[in-house]
Amino acid sequence: MTGRPTLAVVGATGGVGAVMLQILSQHADVWGDIKLLASPRTAGTKLSVRGVETEVEALTEEALRGVDVAVFLVPDDVAARWAPLAAAGGTVVVDGSGAFRGDPEVPLVVPEVNAHAARTRPRSIVASPGCTTLSLIVAVGALHAEFGLRELVVSSYEAVSAEGQEGVDALRRQTALVANTKLGTHPGDVRRAVGEATGPFPAPLALNVVPWSGALREDGWSSEEMGIRAETRKILGLADLPVTATCVRVPVVTAHSASVHARFEQEITVERAHETLATAPGVVLFDNPAAGDFPTPADVVGTDPTWVGRVRRTLDDPRGLELFVCGDNLRKGAALNSAQIAEAIAAELSA
């Protein structure tokens, strides 16, 4: 390759795509041309990236020609079809969808945790994890490197923007419907107020929490819960790690949170956990309840790192730790992680 690599953002018109364009405009610029691709529906739209108005093109093999790295921020089925075509044409694909996360020939990468894995890509595809895994894996990965993870129990508090603009619109509409009322004290009154406006969710979210995200899998598990387990194991290289998760949607626009119970091989203290987290790349330790310091979604939205607070040693297990983590599901949870992977590949191609 001569000169800087050409990048394509596939899905540039989507929710994650919009954050990707912001990030590309903010980060040190490592790219030559940047092409913006989407469906034929939005071809011709103009979007700004690096301060330059750029016309969106329809995703075609022609449009992918000469692209060195393509970041796919599109639905699973679109990625499943197009990523291999792009790879066959010589493009390295970074896929933000769920299409390839479980593929044994596709590395699943979180640069702070397993950057090295991105260098071996038999299919010329690298996958980025799901947003719930990404909300906790940077902190958990740093602790694993130091203390040796042996078990993980996760309960999530997931924001609606993980269901795209439709999710955000549904929560905003519902919030307006329940505001200035005495709702929330009688059975069914929130459901009646929200009516059909549940959007992509199986129950109202305003003044409510809903213990479901993703699609139904075997034995009552959701795809999101299974994903946290499979992805954590793959990223940490711990194929048999016991991981259990319960995923719950909450009325938050953006930023996922998780309550994490972790058991390690070694004994652990809050002091040593603090030391590890305070120096881990991509992590902000924000843990002083006496001063009201613990992360909340409203405070971390729009920021890059994984925020960690409420660090406690499990009272009945000297090898156990409790944490509460928060991270922006559109930044580190989606666009940022894909951008970081793409930038590492750019550095490798330019080297």
Which residues are annotated as catalytic?
A: 131, 256
Binding residues among 139-168 for a second copy as defined by CB under 8 A? 153, 155, 157, 161, 168
Can you list the positions of beta strands (E) in 249-328?
A: 256-264, 283-285, 306-313, 320-327
Determine contact, residues 138/144, Cβ cutoff 8 Å. no
The binder of a second copy chosen from 35, 144, 229, 332 (CB under 8 A): 229
> Which two three-digit tokens encode residue 272?
């040593």
The binder of ligand NAP chosen from 42, 198, 208, 223 (CB under 6 A): 42
Binding residues among 72-111 for a second copy as defined by CB under 8 A? none
Residue 302 binds to a second copy (criterion: CB under 8 A): yes
Determine contact, residues 71/339, Cβ cutoff 8 Å. yes
Alpha-carbon distance of 255 to 232, in angstroms, equals 19
Residue 244 binds to ligand NAP (criterion: CB under 6 A): no
* Helical segments of 179-310, H only: 189-194, 223-236, 270-279, 297-300
Residue 111 binds to ligand NAP (criterion: CB under 6 A): no
From the list a second copy, ligand NAP, none, partner contacted by residue 38 (C-beta under 5 to 8 A by kind) = ligand NAP
> Which two three-digit tokens encode residue 134?
């990404």
Residue 294 binds to a second copy (criterion: CB under 8 A): yes
Which one-letter amino acid corresponds to residue 38? A
The SS3 call for residue 297 is helix
- Distance in Å, CB of 266 to a second copy, minimum: 18
Binding residues among 55-94 for ligand NAP as defined by CB under 6 A? 59, 73-76, 78
From the list ligand NAP, a second copy, none, partner contacted by residue 135 (C-beta under 5 to 8 A by kind) = none
Q: Are strands 92-95 and 256-264 parallel, antiparallel or unpaired?
A: unpaired
Binding-site ranges for ligand NAP (CB under 6 A): 11-17, 38-39, 41-42, 59, 73-76, 78, 96-98, 130-131, 161-162, 164-165, 329-330, 333-334
